[in-house]
Amino acid sequence: MSGKITTKIQDRIALVTLDNPAKRNALSAAMWQELAAVFGRLSADTELRCVVIRGAGQDFAAGGDIAEFPEVRGTREKCLHFHQVTVGNALRAIDQCLHPTVALIRGNCVGGGLEIAAQCDLRIAAHSARFGAPIGKLGFTMAHTELANLVARVGPAVMLEILLEGRLMGADEAYRKGLVTRVVQDGDAEEEALATARRIAAGAPLVARAHKKLVRRLAFRAAPLDEGEIAENFAFLDTEDYREGLRAFLAKEPPEFTGR
């Protein structure tokens, strides 16, 4: 068995772990498939408020499991299927997860690991984390579907630097270049990621879900919103949480949101 995905839920926060530490959590085809399934299930659980994704041990994820490549990507057909379906389903499942997502990044966040982190909403990095995609040294091109995600989120200049130079960059540089949300000392990274998840969980969940969906819609699709999408944007007017939010604000009390 080449790696697995584990899930733990506590206080409405799901903790998903990429678990293949002997290979720095490199993702096997089986792990990509499990990752898609896990995020599909978490997305359907409306009791949740936030999902944190991390790697087991010292690293976030060191990319794909290259030992498998001759087999799983041996022909053009297999290669297309691997990237568009196997990897693609997992990245789409993270991107479209109903709940806000936080990547907790320690150690190597490389290749497929970088692609996973980029699909999350926030990225909390340990100071010693390292980022990159040195696939020029492996002789292959990043799949266009995956590169499109990264270019849209990270920008062309940083992606060209990462891909052409093949260097790994440290967390401080990644922060300056917009790759991560914040950088903390190594020993504080897990607590900061969970504190971030708790801050997210304290807000009105329907609002967080609407913001998550709407920011992606506005950033990554050019077509103007249709009537249904505009109506959805104002759906909060009929919620209990909106009344509670205004009441609590005007009463100077902390709100208690129920997701209704």
**Residue 17 φ then ψ, to 5°:** -120, 125
CB nearer to a second copy: pick between 21 and 69: 69
Q: Which is nearer to a second copy, 9 or 202 (CB)?
A: 202
Choose between 37 and 184: whose C-beta lies nearer to a second copy.
184
Q: What is the closest distance, in whole angstroms, from the C-beta atom of residue 5 to a second copy in the complex?
A: 23
Sheet with 4-10: list strands edge to edge.
Answer: 4-10, 13-19, 50-55, 101-105, 122-126, 182-184
Can you tell me the distance from the alpha carbon of 80 to that of 36, in angstroms, rounded to the nearest whole number? 17
Separation CA 130–CA 170 (nearest Å): 5
If the CB atoms of residues 45 and 165 are measured against a second copy, the closer one turns out to be 165
**CA–CA distances in Å: residue 57 to residues 18, 44, 105, 177:** 10, 28, 11, 26
- The least distance separating a second copy from the CB of residue 70, rounded to whole angstroms, comes to 7
Residue whose CB is less far from a second copy, 1 or 164: 164
Structure tokens at 159: 């992606």
Q: Which two tokens stand for residue 182?
A: 């914040």
- E strand or H helix at 132: strand 130-132
Cα 227 from Cα 238, distance rounded (Å): 17
Q: Are strands 182-184 and 169-170 parallel, antiparallel or unpaired?
A: unpaired
Q: What are phi and psi of 126, to 5 degrees?
A: -70, 150
| Nearest distance from C-beta of residue 79 to a second copy, angstroms | 6
State in angstroms the smallest separation of the CB of 18 from a second copy. 20
Shortest distance, position 172 Cβ to a second copy, whole Å: 11
Give the Å distances, CA to CA, from 131 to 38, 115, 122, 153: 25, 11, 15, 15
Provide the minimum distance between the beta carbon of 14 and a second copy in the complex, in angstroms, as a whole number: 15
Compare residues 6 and 215 and give the one whose CB is closer to a second copy.
215
CB 121, min distance to a second copy, A:
5
Nearer to a second copy (CB atom), residue 69 or residue 184:
69
